[in-house]
Structure 1
């Protein structure tokens, strides 16, 4: 039996008993690290929010990457049955933090989360939602918040965020000039928001400015993983340190960088295996984030049941990584950065392209070849190895990117780049892939 088959087998055996377990409300005791009551296969470790006593599961369920039918998570429909099974399994195994947003799955994520969670006691889970950066006025923000409560079937949100803050003028215009921040603070005073924070995708100057605002942020959500920890642009270590110094709880997003830390280059896989061959890339990634004490929960956008089973197991009976292993991951990051991959996390914020270009799909083909160290070099020797790599990349491109959605349809309008949380110059990267594909087609 393969590892994947084993995970599926475990999942199938437990999901059948999930709904009965879901009826049980979890107690919350005031301690920093809380061992949860056992379920079949154990329960995810809880971590106490030092500000308010909430006992939150170290693994949070990010609700942006549910399984879909009839397309991807932008064009397709959420596949309800496996999604509910995944949410039920996670809940039964101690996951009590669920993170959704107005934009996820075109608004259908909130509805699906509401459908799942309405079967559980309201005090047994924490629900996070977000004010979208696309809101323009106070009246629109009020309508959005009301609709979110209705979609999710709740009367309040435990954690609520100003979503994807990446530019000062956007925050200034919407939250300060339009009065949306004051409105959210009013909702907090009324109890319809229990904790108010923001998710961040900007530069250090913006982060410092946000923390200097005359508002007491209850938590902040940052992109944090072992690759971005000492990255010169993203500076996750510095972001975390600034929050820890202020005793602000940290919610982690992109712990596996949209899957990039799963399909690792062979040299990185070898290094990690030399330290502990029993840990999967996902386990290394989640454990890295959870090893830092001001991290309240680590969000994982899980698409398949085996993801849920593995991640729950990783965060059950959690023990932080040693300093030696944390440093080993930084050595791995140094090796990884020498790779030529494009830093796309597959978040789909850049979509839809007005010209139909499948931005994420194009980058996915390129990055997979890069991660496997199989990128063909048209400027080198056209030997048998080159021809093998050339065939592989061209076949992947033809088979996974529809003809009408390929790189040659990009006109460089740059509508996408301002939306990219990673700050990618997307048209330039699309051109880079197109140039390679064209060179490969020429032979």
Structure 2
């Protein structure tokens, strides 16, 4: 085993290899833009990988990041710099796990870059012995780096899968049943309005089923809580069929043909209602997944949900927003009135947030007094309007304390909207920066 450790990435940077890298770098560095260009040109020509790189913003950023990665990976390193380099490679793997870039893509990248680097060194003015040593070292360094990236990637993927399963398996049966009832009511009312419009000769609604509250909920939330993938597929198939029938009904078919279309339309939507009822009935024995104090979702469920929303946004060309909400002067409340009052404030604000967000939105307890709200298919103005409704509602509340005293509280908000970058951590950081701006601007306000 001791003999194998010399091949580990962390043990590659000896005084001897550092000296060789110092000779290699002046040769490799001018060619690094070429390596990056060749890499992306090859991948963009491949249909299986181009979908990960089609966004211009991502492509530009990844081009810069790959160049930086090459420069950092092949730089000579001291023992202290080696520790940071190990962490650097592990962070790359964590990003790949969040973005869900297949490791086959990373491995292909290494093959392309290796070949180009080998060509550079072979055509250089180094001695034959130095060329051989350089090619061997390039191979060892890239293999070692990919090994670290793969290991970190797999750990991240396993953690995300575990969180997804926990989220699905730890649902509150009572709350899930209530939410499904709300969805069913929304669907039934929409279907009834359709029928009334059709038979009365009024204008038929032209919006897709997915543009309504029940459709958005099924698209964004149902896949995460549905206990059986085949049930989810049946629901989606029914909604897709209902959408086709809805378009046919807009053609104003009359007589027997029209009645047949309407019968098929209502029967298809009734099947969706039945499938949702079946899901509610099958989840009655499950436990709660909420934070005990705030009844918001726990932060550990954030990654798989954001991963899904990012994937949906990229595939459909839609967007979503993140709203970061933070209770103003919360530490002062705890210091002056005690943690029991602090808990009461947290509970009150959380309840207000849950009342003001839509059926399709998620609210997470992100930190001590910080809440993250995820709003699928909502633009910047829509997210700002939602934040303002919450801000105004909290500001107007007077929290009564046990000693007949009362306090008023406020909340600050930072908002960011998905712009195409597949790593959702960038969006969280952007919303967090806007929250900091709101705090700096005097609190009790919104920045986006």
- Short-chain TM bin: under 0.3
Q: Normalization by structure 1: what TM-score?
A: 0.23
Which has more strand, going by share of residues? 1
Which has more helix, going by share of residues? 2
Q: Normalization by structure 2: what TM-score?
A: 0.23
Larger Rg: 2
